[in-house]
Structure 1
Amino acid sequence: MMSRIVKANLLAPYTTTASKKYHCSFRNSCRYLSVSSSSPCNDESSKPRSIRTVGTVGQGLMGHGITQIAAASPHVVSVVAYDPSGIPALDAGRDRISSSLDKMVSRGKMTPEDAEAMLGKIIFTKDMDAFSPSAGGTDIVIEAIIEDLDIKKNFYRDLDSQCHSQTIFASNTSSLSVGDMAAAVSSERRQRFVGIHFFNPVQMMKLVEIVRTSDVDIEAVNAVMQFCENIDRKAVLCADTPGFVVNRLLVPFLVQAMEMLDRGDVAGGPRDIDACMKLGAGHPMGPLHLADYIGLDTLKFILDGWIARYPDNSNFSMPDCLVEKVKSGHLGRKVGKGFYYWNGGKRGDPVV
């Protein structure tokens, strides 16, 4: 049913009816930031800007999921799905979305008509000029390409010249500095440049980290926070620091487990280290199990970047066992071997 691309039906411009914006400081628990403390809450001009048209860049593991959940929102009228790698990457992303929708239809969670309508919102394209004002443009462009700062900066430099000045740029980076990427665009665009870190699998994970730089405009932040609410995600606003919130807490935790393994602190090895955190701390899976699930090469890549940029930060260290496993190609679940043996998604015994 989902094998063909359905052309998007572009709807008429939408007038926002966004909900009331709360007034609070960056450190408060309220959802939005205020432009000024004196602005009345019922002032229409204080409401977040509405994001109705979305662009996504990179249709891989993360990107296709972002495309899918954006298209699923009744608040979004169209999604321009672009991949700089061209047609094969676009086809793979489209097929992943189609497969996901087929499963939802088969389980009774969506009608075939709704699935077709959702696909009909998505325009798959290999041309970056689909983001240009002459092509209609988008309110936001969410980038999910390779985690390489130079590649991202070159991409944003090109994208900046294509898009309308009011288009918000948002990077799905999990480990790079958003400010470093924003340095590649104009000073005007930097006011509308944020991090928007989704989690894998995007279709299931409800958290999004919104990363605020020192240059970003409050209205852009509020618009992105409202967008996350509109796609049924919990947005957490955070500063542009290494790892933001989740990875800053998670990666050092995983490193500590690996360094315990390096030192031989636990006689039972990976199985007992993981059992301690499951049974003693209530975690659904232990740190070495989770490391395998994430990908040991991914963790090493994050640590390499942090250690290079912050060499004096003792929180960022590289376990010997991680280096050895990545060097040997034992990257975890995706290759069938890491700290554990894997058979597809099923974990086996620890690797001795």
Structure 2
Amino acid sequence: MDRPPLQTIAVVGLGTMGTGISDILARAGREVIGIDTSESAARRALRSLENSTARSVATGRMSEDERRGVLSRFRTFRDLHAAAEAELVIEVVPEEYDTKCRVFAELDTLVKPQTILATGTNALSVTRLAADTDRPERVLGLHFFNPAPAMKLVEVVSSVLTAPQAVAAVTRLAEELGKSPISVGDRPGFVADGLLFGYLNQAAAMYESKYATREDIDAAMRLGCGLPMGPLALLDLIGVDTARTVLDALHAESGDRLHAPAPVLRQLSDAGLTGRKAGRGFYTYDSPGGAELVPDAQSPAEDAAATAGRPVARVGVAGSGTMASGIAEVFARAGFATVLAARSEEKAEAAKAAIASSCERAVRKGRMSAAERDATLGRVSPAGSWESLAEADLVVEAVAEDLDVKRALFARLDGVCKEGAVLATTTSSLPVVACARATGRPRDVVGMHFFNPAPAMKLVEVVRTVLTGDEAHATVREVCARLGKHPVDCQDRAGFIVNALLFPYLNNAVKMVQDHYASLDEIDAAMKLGGGYPMGPFELLDVVGLDVSLAIEQVLHREFRDPGLQPAPLLEHLVAAGCLGRKTGRGFREYARP
């Protein structure tokens, strides 16, 4: 049997990433030379491999003989001279240019002429590192994601000097390791981190401005977007200092204010509060390197003196579209008598029919019994006039996302609804206070932003204006608890939490394609495989609708006046051409006609 290419591989730097890469390589039959100047780091790397392979044996994924073979293929050294016979060297030392440059300069004098030198950087210039060697054509980036054994994405980064043969060799290696490699050019952050770190930076700035608590920011992005971790918890995992380094490099390249590190990142870094590895960052952990959260001064506490909400037994939902019927279903399932009011009896009956179809699907899937379906539908009363909402304790508006339409409805509700009723709007981007000021009871108006599909999504953004009273705010939070939803508090500004963080990320993905840096498929794959996102940005844009996305991005740009938030011209052009996503059969991709 032929000897596979790149059989002997040196890994320089045996921290978390270097240890994970060594684990993958040794399991794949490669001879691995682990190099670290710290003897304790080398011992930890060996112990980690021993433990991981022992778990594999215990779970039946590896035999004891195979385990011995893996362990025999991993040797550790403290000197770079050990890399002399390697066919590939992967450098994963700290993210500092001077440190990496010294390593590359020494390796350049030690390894064979045909040896490939790869850097694991996700922020520094591969081109600059390559230019400082005598073999720039054999220097490239090989960016694994943490934890390396689990994450499928590997970014293979070429400089303008890199030979195609070197790229092909490491791409083949990545495939043999069971990874999904994508080839990208040399710019800070590459694809995944280039999109991810802007989003993380905005989350840090949102927290720093006290717009929302760290817990609510993280819960909003997990529950509203299906992300595996909230942004602040992820910053702690990555390392606050590492994030700051990446953002500095991104900002130096782009000049985009969205990439200028939030001051809180510098403050935490300078204080040594770098995240999990230090035992404290945005959160506090049980020990340095630990993952278990422990309470600290910022942890939310039960306030016995908190304002009690008003009693709510009867709920009104104003509207007849998808969101209105979904929200009415949520209330009815939770036991509330629900009036579903629309502009005509026909629209109201059609909305109730949509609820019936949804409940029937739930019965077929075993998520609801036939008796529960019948009880839910029995609680929904369709009505063709707003006057039917007169006795509701809480009215939730879910009409078109048009401020004039919403203001007119709130003015009407003000004259119809009883004194003490709480009036809520489900807007995702319009000012709640504008709806409040259309009434004579602004203290009773609040935002209650459900996510689509409302029966499935757990998150509700509870938006308090400067005029909202404590009782109205408490009422909505208590109702959310009865619905089985997770409320997060935020103030009345464009995008609230989720859209203010999500849509700049989507806009930056469009700019990346517009700049011809990467393809739609590469970017979608990078964010799903490297970031754990349930959908890639272009999949999501086509589902949401490009016109809806553009409207939200325009609102964000008007609110914050930040040039980095200006919608990408490519998005504007597609919307102007009527390419709105799945609903029109074409957006960033083409689909079967709806």
**Fold conserved (TM > 0.5)?**
yes
What residue in structure 1 maps to residue 310 of structure 2?
49
Q: Structure 1 residue 309: deviation in Å? A: 4.5
Change (3 A) 1:142 1:40: closer
What residue in structure 2 maps to residue 156 of structure 1?
410
Q: Equivalent residues in 2 for 1:1-352 (5 A)?
A: 27=213, 30=300, 40=305, 46-74=307-335, 76=336, 78-84=337-343, 86-132=344-390, 137-186=391-440, 189-266=441-518, 269-310=519-560, 312-343=561-592
**Quick one: distance in 2 between partners of 1:139 and 1:81?**
14
1:254-277 deviations in Å (ceiling 9; x for gaps): 0000011111122xx111111111
Q: Structure 1 residue 344: deviation in Å? A: 7.5
Residue type matched to 1:144 in 2?
Answer: A
**Quick one: distance in 2 between partners of 1:245 and 1:160?**
28
For the 8 Å contact 2:347–2:384, the answer to whether it is kept is no
What residue in structure 2 maps to residue 15 of structure 1?
none
> Bigger CA drift: 321-330 or 207-216?
321-330
Q: Structure 1 residue 343: deviation in Å? A: 3.7
Q: Structure 1 residue 151: deviation in Å? A: 1.2
What residue in structure 2 maps to residue 6 of structure 1?
none
Q: Structure 1 residue 29: deviation in Å? A: 5.6
Which protein shows a greater Rg?
Answer: 2
For the 8 Å contact 1:141–1:169, the answer to whether it is kept is yes
Q: Structure 1 residue 229: deviation in Å? A: 0.9
Structure 1 unaligned spans of 5+: 1-25, 346-352
1:111-137 deviations in Å (ceiling 9; x for gaps): 3232112111111001111122xxxx1
Q: Give the secondary structure class of the aligned counterpart of 1:62.
A: helix
Q: Structure 1 residue 31: deviation in Å? A: 8.2
**Quick one: distance in 1 between partners of 2:358 and 2:523?**
35
What residue in structure 2 maps to residue 20 of structure 1?
none
Residue type matched to 2:357 in 1?
Answer: S
**Quick one: distance in 2 between partners of 1:208 and 1:344?**
33
Identity of matched residues, %: 34
For the 8 Å contact 1:71–1:122, the answer to whether it is kept is yes
Residue type matched to 1:242 in 2?
Answer: A
What residue in structure 1 maps to residue 291 of structure 2?
none
Q: TM-score, normalised by structure 1?
A: 0.80
**Quick one: distance in 2 between partners of 1:143 and 1:156?**
8
Change (3 A) 1:88 1:325: farther
Q: Structure 1 residue 40: deviation in Å? A: 4.8
For the 8 Å contact 2:449–2:460, the answer to whether it is kept is yes
Q: Give the secondary structure class of the aligned counterpart of 1:113.
A: helix
Q: Give the secondary structure class of the aligned counterpart of 1:254.
A: helix
Change (3 A) 1:29 1:338: farther
Residue type matched to 2:418 in 1?
Answer: H
For the 8 Å contact 1:80–1:124, the answer to whether it is kept is yes
Aligned length: 300
Q: Give the secondary structure class of the aligned counterpart of 1:340.
A: coil
Q: Give the secondary structure class of the aligned counterpart of 2:353.
A: helix
What residue in structure 1 maps to residue 14 of structure 2?
none
Change (3 A) 1:324 1:83: same
- Structure 1 or 2: larger helix share? 2
Q: Structure 1 residue 49: deviation in Å? A: 2.5
**Quick one: distance in 1 between partners of 2:367 and 2:514?**
46
1:74-129 deviations in Å (ceiling 9; x for gaps): 3x2x1010112x23322321111111111222233323232112111111001111
Q: TM-score, normalised by structure 2?
A: 0.48
